């Protein structure tokens, strides 16, 4: 499964990349903190999942999400926030985010989503956290 990471916070970006790399059958196809580069990488590399930090450069996370969801086959978007705000959560969900999690408190939920997606695409049909690379 191809994953692209768009981050605003270096800490969040590093943590997500490290977590995703632990899974078998996943490939990081791009990492960027620049909104225009993120959308270009998605068009070029066609990831199944985009993990999008809401604190992107110039505050353009919502704009990037809206653009991604206009694509013919849009990726699953997992939005991450460092500052929980109900209003922003609604804005991201209404704009098309498939998931919205707090980066620090709900990090494992991102991993859970990846596990579920891998299990759906896996010929064996089953995958658990134990299937992470050692």
Nearest one of 17, 99, 105, 6 to 61, comparing CA atoms: 6
Share of the chain above pLDDT 70, in %: 90
Indicate the pairing of strand 2-6 with strand 99-102.
unpaired
Angle between helices 61-68 and 86-95 (to 10 degrees): 20
Other beta carbons within 10 Å of 122: 14
- In the chain, the domains with their CATH numbers are 2-131 (3.40.50.2300)
CA gap 60, 19 in Å, rounded: 24
CA gap 125, 120 in Å, rounded: 6
pLDDT of the residue at 128: 36
Q: What is the mean pLDDT of the chain?
A: 86
Torsion (CA) 109, 111, 117, 120 in degrees, nearest 10: -100
Give 108's pLDDT tier (boundaries 50, 70, 90). confident
Site of tokens 């759906």: 120
**pTM score of the predicted model:** 0.86
Q: pLDDT tens digits for 48-103? A: 999 999 988 878 999 999 999 999 999 999 999 888 888 989 999 999 999 999 88
CA gap 50, 62 in Å, rounded: 13
- Whether 133 has a pLDDT exceeding 70, the answer reads no
The DSSP code for 24 is: T
């Amino acid at each position: 499964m191809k994953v692209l990471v768009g981050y605003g916070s270096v800490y969040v970006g590093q943590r997500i990349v490290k977590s995703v790399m632990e899974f078998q059958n996943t490939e990081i196809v791009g990492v960027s903190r620049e909104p225009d580069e993120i959308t270009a990488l998605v068009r070029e590399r066609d990831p199944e999942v985009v993990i999008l930090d809401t604190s992107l450069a110039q505050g353009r996370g919502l704009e990037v999400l809206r653009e991604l969801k206009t694509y013919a086959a849009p990726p699953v978007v997992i939005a991450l926030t460092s500052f929980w705000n109900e209003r922003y959560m609604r804005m991201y969900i209404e704009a098309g985010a498939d998931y919205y999690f707090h980066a620090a408190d709900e990090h494992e939920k991102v991993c859970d989503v990846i596990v579920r997606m891998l299990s759906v695409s896996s010929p064996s049909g089953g995958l658990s956290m134990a299937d992470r690379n050692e």
